[in-house]
Amino acid sequence: MDEERINMSLLKSSLLSDRQWAIVASIFMMATSAMGPGFLTQTAVFTVKLGAAFGFAILVSILIDYVVQQNIWRVVTLTQMRASDIANKALPGSGYLLAFLVILGGFFFSIGNIAGAALGLNALFGLDTKWGGILSGALAILIFASRKATLAMDKSMIVLGLLKIILIIIVAVIVMPPVGQAVHQTFAPDQIDFAIITTIVGGTVGGYICYAGAHRLLDKGAVGPENIDEVAKAATKGIVVVGIMRYVLFLAFLGVVVSGASIDLASHNANPAAQAFQYAAGTFGYKLFGLIFWAAGISSTIGAAYTSVSFFSAFKKNLTPKQSNYTTITFIALALLLYVVLGATPAGLLIFVGGFNGLVLPIGLSIFVYVAACRKDLMGNYNYPKWLIVLGALTCVLTWWMGYMSFTTVFNYLTKL
């Protein structure tokens, strides 16, 4: 009897460990996807344009992020289905549209992420950006080609995520930004640009990004009503950490801007983030930029490819893990090929795709809020928090309105590619 109790205790301990590992992996999948080269580039460009007032856009993105992730993580966990399958169940046919838009946005973000990793290697070692892109894309492919691809992916996301956090904090400390001015403008900005807010929201929570952590939870088996409380707490912790890091990065760039640095935004090969890091700390800062951008590029390439391919289930059911890995490898290889052939400017591409994903965000969010509020056949007996449904509905209205207000401006970013 004692031996049976010991075995049961060991089994429970193992299950707890597996569940916690799944949640940690999902948090880092979400966090690294939300802080890729796109966010770094957008933050540099928009801090130059708006100064301290850009803090308001960061605040809005964090609040929207909280509502979006809480709703999506809960609905995916409870229904135990991928986002596109949930959409098709809720509104027949909508899952195909959602999958197409997410895959398209994720694909172009992957090109930009490979470009970001290439820029990082160029800053670190002076390596030609095409060769840097090829090496970075090849590394991402090798991770998915590994015999233990899921474990390699999870560990790489955690290591690269921690590396980015540490390096960004170092840069912010070096710059010594005007914190008081930033906090004031965060809550009482002297100017508001909705196209910029839509773009930064898209670059941090739009498109594939808002589904990355939820789909990782699903694949790791941390689903069902029994896990919902822990999942909700994990989503909150992840958003808090990511929100703080977004704001710290903004402060770092703001410190450079207010010091009078001249940062090029106009030329074809402009790299605002690199210029800001170099101005902040000379050669050391430029090398830090290279390491941060490379880590951000690789981790976001992995996150974008994994999440985008997870939406292929809308078109082909029951993909095996092996088939998913092959599809992911093909996805990255095609993005790498287009990067090498087209040679689009990373800054322009990353800003446009962020805006595009911001336009896609309200489509998926509206479906998920509808499921949470109205589809008891999908949600089971779970008593979904009414306050979260209300916040979700308000966020839907806000993101649709922002998308309408900024639609033309977002597509004007294409002229800068």
259: which DSSP letter? T
CA dist 293 and 170 (Å) reads: 14
Portion of the chain with pLDDT greater than 90, in percent? 16
CA dist 156 and 142 (Å) reads: 12
Give the homologous superfamily in CATH for domain 35-183+192-413: Amino acid/polyamine transporter I (1.20.1740.10)
Distances (CA, A) of 335 to 97, 279, 402, 408, 417: 21, 32, 29, 26, 16
CA dist 324 and 2 (Å) reads: 44
The radius of gyration of the chain's CA atoms, rounded to the nearest angstrom, is 21
Give the mean model confidence (pLDDT) for residues 282-298: 83
Give the mean model confidence (pLDDT) for residues 147-155: 69
Distances (CA, A) of 52 to 178, 252, 261, 289: 9, 11, 15, 22
Residue 12 has pLDDT above 70, yes or no: no
The mean-pLDDT minimum among 23-32, 76-85, 399-408 falls in 23-32
Residue 16 has pLDDT above 50, yes or no: no
- Which of 19-33, 85-99, 292-306 is most confident? 85-99
Portion of the chain with pLDDT greater than 70, in percent? 85
Closest CA to 413 of 341, 351, 320: 351
Residue 13 has pLDDT above 70, yes or no: no
CA dist 399 and 365 (Å) reads: 9
CA dist 226 and 223 (Å) reads: 8
CA dist 211 and 131 (Å) reads: 31
Sequence spans of domains, the chain: 35-183+192-413
Give the mean model confidence (pLDDT) for residues 320-348: 83
Residue 48 has pLDDT above 80, yes or no: yes
- Measured N-to-C along each axis, helices 37-50 and 346-374 cross at an angle, to the nearest 10 degrees, of 100
Question: Are residues 74 and 391 in contact, defined by beta-carbon separation less than 8 angstroms?
Answer: no
Identify the burial level of 190 via C-beta atoms within 10 angstroms of its C-beta, where 0-12 means exposed, 13-18 middle and 19 or more buried.
exposed
Closest CA to 29 of 214, 234, 261: 214
- Measured N-to-C along each axis, helices 149-175 and 321-342 cross at an angle, to the nearest 10 degrees, of 50
Considering only residues 346 and 302, tell me which one the structure prediction assigns the higher pLDDT. Answer: 302
pLDDT per position as a tens digit, 266-288: 555 666 777 777 877 778 878 88
pTM value surpassing 0.85? no
Tokens for 34, please give them. Answer: 């939300």
Residue 255 has pLDDT above 50, yes or no: yes
Residue 263 has pLDDT above 90, yes or no: no
- Which of 219-228, 292-301, 327-336 is most confident? 327-336
CA dist 36 and 31 (Å) reads: 9
Q: Give the contacts of 285 (CB within 8 A, at least 6 positions apart).
A: 171, 174, 277, 278, 279
Question: Are residues 114 and 335 in contact, defined by beta-carbon separation less than 8 angstroms?
Answer: yes
Give the mean model confidence (pLDDT) for residues 342-370: 77
If DSSP codes are grouped into helix, strand and coil, which group holds residue 206?
coil
CA dist 229 and 157 (Å) reads: 24
